[in-house]
């Protein structure tokens, strides 16, 4: 069965409620996409309540979004099990995403560097746990040297709270967001 509501089913005339999750939305993509997570939280809450599934699966590529959804389900006592699905990657390591279609052929060749740089950050912070900030600063510079137009962030964060870590401790993930042309690419990997 497929539940496919129309726009008016989700946002009827006069709709004025917003679901807002704090904490996990304050860093990473939050400052770069104001209002985005409120929109995600609102529409996902509506969809979960309209169809009341036993299980809902969200990809780990949008890891911050996954944590936002887990938080709202806990806070609002929505009876659904939220499962994170592993990132699916192209052969060269680029995380699969609809955003990739905006990359020119040259940009597409550069794009896998985001994942390579994040992997090198993960290895480096294991070797030098107290050096997170310097390692991430060097990673941002490396992405710019490779040809990324800008880097929104590279950071090592606690896996559950998304708190930016100055010193690596488990459990953690490395997160990155950078722009190539008109595409804003995001990726993350576990540390260890």
d(CA 134, CA 53): 44
Mean pLDDT confidence for 175-186: 97
Torsion of CA 188, 99, 21, 68, to 10 degrees: -50
* pLDDT above 90 (res 2): no
| pLDDT on residue 115 | 98
52 — alpha (psi -120 to 50), left (phi > 0) or beta? left
136-174 per-position pLDDT tens digit: 999 999 999 999 999 999 999 999 999 999 999 999 999
> pTM surpassing 0.85?
yes
* pLDDT band for position 91 (cuts 50, 70, 90): very high
Are 183 and 99 in contact, with CB atoms under 8 Å apart? yes
**Span 44-89, pLDDT tens digits:** 999 999 999 999 999 999 999 999 999 999 999 999 999 999 999 9
CA angle 163, 166, 32 (to 5 degrees): 50
Sign of the CA dihedral with 94 first, then 67, 20, and 39 last:
positive
For residue 3, is pLDDT > 90? no
Tell me the pairing of strands 81-85 and 55-59: parallel
Alpha helices, DSSP H, located in 31-149:
36-51, 63-75, 105-110, 113-127, 132-146
- CA dist., res. 36 & res. 155, Å (int): 20
Q: What is the pLDDT of residue 68?
A: 98
**Band (192; pLDDT cuts 50, 70, 90):** confident
Q: What is the mean pLDDT of residues 112-118?
A: 98
Tracing tokens 């996990």 back to the chain, one arrives at 24
Task: Sketch out the chain's domains with CATH numbers.
Answer: 7-85 (3.40.50.620), 98-190 (3.30.1300.10)
Give the closest residue to 172 by CA, choosing from 113, 112, 132. Answer: 132
State mean pLDDT over 84-111. Answer: 97
pLDDT tens-digit readout, 22-56: 999 999 999 999 999 999 999 999 999 999 999 99
3-state secondary structure of 158: strand
């Amino acid at each position: 069965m497929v539940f496919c509501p129309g726009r008016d089913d989700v946002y009827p005339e006069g709709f004025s409620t917003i679901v807002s999750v704090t904490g996990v939305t304050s860093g990473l993509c939050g400052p770069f996409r104001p209002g985005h997570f409120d929109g995600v939280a609102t529409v996902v809450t509506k969809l979960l309540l309209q169809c009341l599934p036993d299980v809902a699966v969200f990809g780990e590529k949008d890891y911050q979004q996954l944590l936002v959804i887990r938080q709202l389900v806990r806070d609002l006592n929505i009876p659904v099990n939220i499962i994170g699905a592993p990132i699916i990657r192209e052969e060269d390591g680029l995380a699969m995403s609809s955003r990739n279609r905006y990359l020119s052929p040259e940009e597409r060749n550069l794009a896998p560097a985001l994942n390579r740089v994040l992997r090198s950050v993960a290895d480096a912070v294991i070797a030098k746990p107290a050096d997170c900030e310097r390692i991430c600063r060097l990673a941002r510079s490396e992405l710019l040297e490779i040809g990324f137009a800008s880097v929104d962030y590279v950071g090592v964060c606690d896996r559950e709270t998304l708190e930016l870590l100055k010193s690596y401790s488990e459990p953690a993930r490395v997160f990155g967001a950078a722009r190539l042309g008109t595409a804003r690419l995001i990726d993350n990997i576990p540390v260890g």
